[in-house]
């Protein structure tokens, strides 16, 4: 086996045990790693009882998975997964963390954390040493304090050696907030899916990994070195401006040019506020540029800081998604304010997208008189940073209205609809329990197609959007390949290049068809588990494979005023997309498709679907 | 041309992005593998946003060379880099202790201690850092009179200082 | 003697195809610029031109009849 260790570390926090599981190469060939491997493990071990499996119960594993290209391809990403407490399906949630390369150097491709501890613990892994350690002095700490404390611990333990790679949760994860992220390095988040809550349900505060071995051997070292140099060179040449401004460029690009940025809970998607732009963020907030993760020549990150009432707020760029969701989506149009709210979300371990989505929903309800000061305890207004910061804390600590909003936008809307006895779901901008990323589809000018979210197996996840043709980098099959290989989507150099790279590292001799079939295989299995859903909510394809109502309302402002998503187009593309994937008209994978993809052993899961 | 004019790696942590491409270049050059632990240059980023690269500075008094009980360390005539005679090294760790920053690396799986050899005069780490345009590592003439040791600051301390001063922005 | 150059660009998932004709050779940077003008993408860094699986440099020049696939690199963020 090349490029992989062929070993998974399985830790059981209930019994305080661990074991190493060997994985055959044929499994990697079918599912690669990352999202694919996680989906396979979940379907194989829990498929039969999926519908009854509570994502926040000890039975739901937390999976941390790398892939064959992790550490070899420029940039670094790993996948956090499990049954999602947001969609009740499987989400492969990507995050940049040095832990990925440490894990591979420690001799494992993935960690599967099972069970739950009674007391707070953290996991320490160094090569063959695996320890479940007491974390009572870490529990309750917010991101920044936690990192500072972990550094002191590392220094005590390792002297002048480098500290281990880490993943952790903030208070939001500890309090089982469904919009909680698994975090790394202050401002990196694995947000989609809500795995911060899964980690919290296990009383697992952090995972630290240190690996001393070389990365697994490579099939064709000469070819690998040549391709790697080519990748580094191309990324440096082509992404010079991306290095300069990173995704922050989207604050103006998507806000002004493509009319696809969420504004006030997506009531609008266009702004012409010149200050809320890469230049604005750079001049008002940046203290370091660029900032990079392991092996990355692109360096899209920056560090920003702002001071309010004497308190210091530090975060990255912020990334476009944060600037959009904790900025314009909440009526915030000052870079300093967006930095402040992003820093608060990071510190609390909240996913900025999902939390900004549910907060936007709440402010709109307040604006419409559907939520009142009595419900909230204070006034909610667009752009009111003080109130929004308070609400972020209330969500992370599940206080007051925060108790309901902490359930994420879909479940919060269900509960509030019940309490208020009126339909509030129509104000949610989510698909299958997952708030939609900050890339609208109404203008037709941004990258996602009209079926992007409606047909995604990861709901509103903007990093995993459905699109046609299936055998292209515009499709979700491609996202599944990136998340399984595991390659950072910002360092994507096209399918043929990734294919060549994968073959040089693994020696699999994949064709382009093999590669895309792997993507189809992963999507097909994810789709089945998503449709199984449960236990609290399940999805009906006829109703839920659709855009939120807001996307069918015409854009009210900007140069593309009047544009809306065309429902008939969505239906047409959906039919075409499902047919191309070998799924039936409701998007249920056909038996012959499963046979063709080598998913025969999972056909029994289909039967549950048909019966149910 | 003075014989004493030797190259030296100047490190500017403020320009370092923490990408560790220098480490990858180092282990590929010396071992043909990506091996973070075996890289002779190590980037520490204990405090986010404050990465600090650490590598041998070729102290003028070579405490590591002088400490070795087995004569396994020498000095390269041309570059001034520390030379490791692999067959003599017993991995006893004396040089690690003798180094003010414990920079020589004893790595499981390798039979001799790992110390920067300046790649014979053209360090790959510096080349990579320049190629990608970060310029945190630079080749300069080696300073004289013990100045090189000013770079030997505990990377945890250095990172914290940058984090507090630049990232958080002072008191 | 110069033969005519005709380059057609297509982005997967988009209905917009652009063909450029010229009596001279055409640079990739120019072709991509034109494509964005016609098909409404404004950020050059988000796309690359690919021919037969190879990523073309911005400074490369194409002559003759060529089919180019436009690949979107940076999605989202």
Each residue of A117-135: pLDDT tens digit? 999 999 999 999 999 999 9
H-helix segments, A58-142: 99-106
* Nearest alpha-carbon partner for A163 in A232, A211, A112: A211
pTM of the model: 0.96
CB spacing of A303 vs B167 below 8 angstroms = yes
Beta strands A286-291; A301-308: pairing state: antiparallel
Is the omega angle on the peptide bond into residue A51 within 30 degrees of 0, that is, cis?
Answer: no
Residues of A in contact with B154 (CB under 8 A): 160
| Helices A512-532, A567-581: crossing angle, 10 deg rounding | 110
DSSP string, A502-571: HHHHH-----HHHHHHHHHHHHHHHHHHHHH--SS----HHHHSS--GGGGSPP-SSTTTT----HHHHH
* pLDDT score, position C38: 84
Residues of A in contact with B20 (CB under 8 A): 294-295
Question: In this structure, what CATH number is given to the domain that contains residue C37?
Answer: 3.10.20.30
What confidence category does residue A611 fall into, taking pLDDT thresholds of 50, 70 and 90?
Answer: low
Check if the beta carbon of residue A42 is closer than 8 Å to that of residue A63: yes
Helix (H, G, I), strand (E, B) or coil at A268: strand
Q: ipTM value of the model?
A: 0.96
Helix (H, G, I), strand (E, B) or coil at A257: helix
Query: Quick one: B86 exposed, middle or buried, by C-beta within 10 A (0-12, 13-18, 19+)?
Result: exposed
Question: Where are chain B's structural domains?
Answer: 7-162
Residues of B in contact with A159 (CB under 8 A): 102
- Per-residue pLDDT at C61 exceeds 80: yes
- Inter-CA distances, A516 with A39, A475, A498, Å: 17, 10, 12
Residue C59 near chain A (CB below 8 Å): no
Closest CA in chain B for residue A71: B34
CATH class of B7-162: alpha beta
Our CA-based measurement puts residue B142 at a distance from the nearest CA of chain A, in whole angstroms, of: 25
CB spacing of B47 vs A155 below 8 angstroms = no
CB spacing of C43 vs A496 below 8 angstroms = no
Residue C63 CA to residue C26 CA, distance in Å, equals: 7
What is the per-residue pLDDT across A565-604, written as a single tens digit (0 to 9) for each?
A: 999 999 999 999 999 999 999 999 999 999 999 999 999 9
Mean pLDDT, residues B76-80 taken together: 95
DSSP string, A15-77: TTEEEEEE--HHHHHHH-SHHHHHHHHHHHHHGGGGGG--TTSTTSPEEEE--TTTTTSSS--
Chain A residues with at least one Cβ partner in C under 8 Å: 234, 237-242, 246-247, 249-250, 253, 257-258, 300, 319-321, 437, 439, 445, 447, 449, 462-463, 465, 467-469, 472-475, 489-490, 492-494, 496-497, 500
Select the more confidently predicted residue: B148 or C73.
B148
Domain of C41 in residue numbering reads as 5-72
Residue A225 near chain B (CB below 8 Å): yes
CB spacing of A213 vs B154 below 8 angstroms = no
Mean pLDDT, residues A532-557 taken together: 97
Ramachandran angles phi, psi of A569, nearest 5°: -65, -40
Check if the beta carbon of residue A191 is closer than 8 Å to that of residue A181: yes
Residue C48 lies in a domain: yes
Give chain C's domain count.
Answer: 1
Residue C62 lies in a domain: yes
- Per-residue pLDDT at B3 exceeds 60: no
Looking at every residue in chain B, the average pLDDT score rounds to: 94
Q: Which domains does chain A have, with CATH numbers?
A: 1-217+457-540 (3.60.9.10), 229-435 (1.10.569.10)
Least confident stretch, A384-398, A434-448, A585-599, C29-43:
C29-43
- Per-residue pLDDT at C4 exceeds 90: no
Residues of C in contact with A320 (CB under 8 A): 77
Residue C77 lies in a domain: no
């Amino acid at each position: 086996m090349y490029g992989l260790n062929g070993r998974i570390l399985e830790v059981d926090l209930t019994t305080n045990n661990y074991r190493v599981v060997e994985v055959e190469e044929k499994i990697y060939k079918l599912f690669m790693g990352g999202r694919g491997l996680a989906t396979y493990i979940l379907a194989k071990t829990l498929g039969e009882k999926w519908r009854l499996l509570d994502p926040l119960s000890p039975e739901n594993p937390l999976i941390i998975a790398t892939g064959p290209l992790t550490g070899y391809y420029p940039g670094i990403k790993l996948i956090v997964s499990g049954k999602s407490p947001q969609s009740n399906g499987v989400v492969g949630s990507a995050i940049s963390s040095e832990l990925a390369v440490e894990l591979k150097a420690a001799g494992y491709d993935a960690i599967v954390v099972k069970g739950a501890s009674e007391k707070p613990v953290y996991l320490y892994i160094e090569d063959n040493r695996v320890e479940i350690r007491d974390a009572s002095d870490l529990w309750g700490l917010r991101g920044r304090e936690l990192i500072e404390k972990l550094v002191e611990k590392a220094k005590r333990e390792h002297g002048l050696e480098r500290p281990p790679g880490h993943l952790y949760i903030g208070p939001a994860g500890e309090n089982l907030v469904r919009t909680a992220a698994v975090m790394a390095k202050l401002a990196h988040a694995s947000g989609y899916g809500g795995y911060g809550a899964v980690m919290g349900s296990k009383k697992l505060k952090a995972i630290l990994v240190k690996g001393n071995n070389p990365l697994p051997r490579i099939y064709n070292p000469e070819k690998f070195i040549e391709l790697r140099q080519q990748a580094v060179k191309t990324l440096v040449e082509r992404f010079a401006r991306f290095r300069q401004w990173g995704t922050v460029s989207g604050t103006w690009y998507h806000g002004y040019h493509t009319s696809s940025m969420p504004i006030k809970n997506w009531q609008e998607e266009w702004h012409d506020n010149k200050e809320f732009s890469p230049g604005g963020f750079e001049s008002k907030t940046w203290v370091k540029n660029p900032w990079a993760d392991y092996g990355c020549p692109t360096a899209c990150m920056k560090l920003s800081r702002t001071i309010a009432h004497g308190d210091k707020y530090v975060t990255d760029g912020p990334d476009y998604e944060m600037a959009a969701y904790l900025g314009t989506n909440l009526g915030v149009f000052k870079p300093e304010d967006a930095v402040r709210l992003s820093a608060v979300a990071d510190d609390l371990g909240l996913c900025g997208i999902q939390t900004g989505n549910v907060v936007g929903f709440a402010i709109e309800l307040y604006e419409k008189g559907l939520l009142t000061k009595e419900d909230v305890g204070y006034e909610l207004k667009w752009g009111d940073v003080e109130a929004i910061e308070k609400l972020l804390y209330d969500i992370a600590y599940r206080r007051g209205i925060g108790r309901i909003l902490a359930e994420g936008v879909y479940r919060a809307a269900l509960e509030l609809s019940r309490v208020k006895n009126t339909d509030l779901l129509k104000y949610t901008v989510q698909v299958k329990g997952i708030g939609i990323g900050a890339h609208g589809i109404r203008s037709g000018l941004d990258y996602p197609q009209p079926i992007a979210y409606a047909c995604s197996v990861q709901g509103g996840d903007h990093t995993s959007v459905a699109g046609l043709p299936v055998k292209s980098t515009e499709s979700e099959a491609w996202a599944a390949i990136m998340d399984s290989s595991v390659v950072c989507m910002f360092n994507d150099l096209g399918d043929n290049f990734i294919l060549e790279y994968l073959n040089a590292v693994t020696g699999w001799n994949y064709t382009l068809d093999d590669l895309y079939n792997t993507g189809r295989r992963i999507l097909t299995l994810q789709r089945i588990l998503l449709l199984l859903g449960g236990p609290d909510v399940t999805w009906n394809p006829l109703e839920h494979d659709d855009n939120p109502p807001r996307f069918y309302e015409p854009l009210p402002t900007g140069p593309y005023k009047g544009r809306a998503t065309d429902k008939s187009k969505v239906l047409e593309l959906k039919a075409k997309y499902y047919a191309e994937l070998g799924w039936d008209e409701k998007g249920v994978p056909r038996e012959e498709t499963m046979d063709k993809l080598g998913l025969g052993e999972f056909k029994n899961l289909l039967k549950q679907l048909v019966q149910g | 041309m003075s014989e004493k004019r030797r190259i030296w790696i100047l490190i500017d942590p403020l320009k370092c992005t923490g990408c560790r491409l220098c480490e990858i270049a180092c282990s590929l050059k010396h071992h043909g593998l990506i091996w973070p632990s075996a890289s002779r240059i190590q980037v520490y980023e204990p405090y986010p946003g404050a990465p600090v690269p650490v590598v041998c500075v070729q102290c003028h008094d070579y405490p590591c060379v002088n400490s070795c009980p087995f004569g396994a360390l020498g000095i390269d005539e041309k570059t001034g880099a520390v030379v490791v005679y692999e067959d003599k090294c017993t991995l006893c760790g004396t040089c690690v202790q003798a180094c003010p920053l414990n920079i020589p690396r004893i790595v499981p799986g390798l039979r001799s201690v790992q110390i920067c050899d300046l790649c014979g005069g053209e360090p790959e780490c510096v080349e990579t850092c320049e190629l990608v345009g970060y310029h945190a590592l630079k080749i300069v003439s080696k300073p004289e009179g013990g100045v090189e040791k000013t770079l030997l600051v505990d990377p945890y301390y250095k990172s914290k200082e940058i984090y507090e001063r630049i990232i958080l922005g002072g008191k | 003697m110069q033969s005519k150059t005709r380059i057609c660009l297509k982005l997967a998932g988009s209905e917009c195809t652009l063909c450029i004709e010229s009596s001279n050779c055409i640079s990739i940077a120019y072709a991509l610029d034109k494509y964005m003008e016609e098909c409404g993408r404004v950020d050059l860094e988000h796309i690359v031109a690919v021919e037969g699986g190879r990523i073309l440099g911005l400074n490369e020049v194409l002559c003759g009849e060529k089919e180019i696939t436009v690949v979107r690199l940076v999605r989202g963020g």
